[in-house]
Amino acid sequence: MISESQEPGATRRPVKDEVDVVAEETQMPAKGGKKEKKGSFWKELPVLVVVALVLALLIKTFVIQAFYIPSESMENTLLKNDRVLVNKIVYHTRDIERGDVVVFSGADSWDPEFQLEEPSNPVAAFFRWVGTAFGVVPGEKDYIKRVIGVGGDHVKCCDSKGRITVNGVALDEQSYLHPGDVPSDRYFDIKVPEGRLWVMGDHRSVSLDSRAHQGDPGGGSIPVDQVVGRAFVIVWPFSRATTLSIPDTFSQSGLQALGDSAPLVAGFALAVPLILVRRRWLGRRR
């Protein structure tokens, strides 16, 4: 039956209540969808933070770590409060070289150059651990020095001109020594044991380096396996950002100790008699 207000063939208009119902049905899912999207972001945020921290810790543990410079012992190469990045995988591909600036652990060997107050509670201890891991605060057991001698080297102070010598070759250290410092104000004469390093700070007058530990096992040298990695760049402050390269004086060919070339020397020593015997044997056959 057709109502009196509606003519045949005309489109039926929805009443007001029907319009409101349709509007609610079409708008509610949209509003609900927005709420759901916003809620999912906040649910995912803690997961993202945890993943970021885990990745950062993995990188710190195995690849690159930031370190805070707590003292003046490496001035003016590194200043107090500088931050450096340390490559932790480089020594898996090459040996430690003279002139490298290395970070190493002094745990159970060297006394700390500085003392940190013990955390007052577990929360403070946690934040110190995080700060140390990301190079925001110093690690009490970590040291940063320059490698002067490697295993097998004869390191001595000093020659007639007051220079440190390595395997009889004098080092020209003016490019990195703290202005006004002499190469060393302490006498030493050591053959660096294999698997160990002789290390010194660039600010020689204040650095408690290998010279200050000559009475310790190893005669002041440190074990290679205590090295964390090579400091290769200053990243903070930005005004001091630069790479840390090996000074030219360490490229002198005469620095190479006999120990470095021992396999080659031994090979020649064995080869020469064999060649002579072979020549005599061939001469007799003729």
pLDDT tens-digit profile of 161-212? 999 999 999 999 999 999 999 999 999 999 999 999 999 999 999 999 999 9
Instruction: Say yes or no to pLDDT of 13 above 70.
Output: no
Instruction: Say yes or no to pLDDT of 265 above 50.
Output: no
Collect all residues with Cβ–Cβ distance below 8 Å to 16 and sequence separation of at least 6: none
DSSP 58-97: HHHHHTEEEEE--SSTTTTTS-TT-EEEEESSGGGTS---
pTM check: above 0.75: no
Collect all residues with Cβ–Cβ distance below 8 Å to 77 and sequence separation of at least 6: 101, 146, 176, 202, 244
5 is catalytic: no
Greatest Cα pair distance, the chain, in angstroms, is: 138
Of 232, 229, 243, 227, nearest to 85 by C-alpha is 232
Token code pair at residue 284: 């007799």
Phi, psi of 186 (to 5 degrees): -125, 140
Q: From the candidates 73, 184, 207, 221, give the one annotated as an active-site residue.
A: 73
SS3 101: strand
145 is catalytic: yes
Q: Which of 19-33, 138-152, 233-247, 252-266 has the highest mean pLDDT?
A: 233-247
Contact by Cβ (8 Å): 162, 183? yes
Q: Give the separation between CA 275 and CA 229, rounded to whole angstroms.
A: 45
Token code pair at residue 235: 């990243």
Q: What is the pLDDT of residues 79-137, one digit of tens each?
A: 999 999 999 999 999 999 999 999 998 766 676 544 455 555 665 555 555 655 554 55
Q: Which amino acid is at 214?
A: Q
Of 181, 196, 192, 201, nearest to 257 by C-alpha is 192
Q: Which residues pair with 154 in a beta bridge?
A: 191
pLDDT value at position 263?
A: 44
Tell me the C-alpha to C-alpha distance, in Å, between residue 177 and each of 15, 29, 154, 235.
92, 71, 21, 21
DSSP 204-268: TTT---GGGGTTSTTTT-EEGGGEEEEEEEEEESGGG-EE-PPPGGGG-GGG--GGGGHHHHHHH
Mean pLDDT of the chain: 77
Domains of the chain and any CATH numbers = 63-258 (2.10.109.10)
Q: Give the separation between CA 175 and CA 249, rounded to whole angstroms.
A: 9
Tell me the C-alpha to C-alpha distance, in Å, between residue 69 and each of 83, 104, 139, 144, 234.
6, 13, 9, 8, 10
Q: From the candidates 145, 156, 184, 207, give the one annotated as an active-site residue.
A: 145
Q: Give the separation between CA 209 and CA 213, rounded to whole angstroms.
A: 7
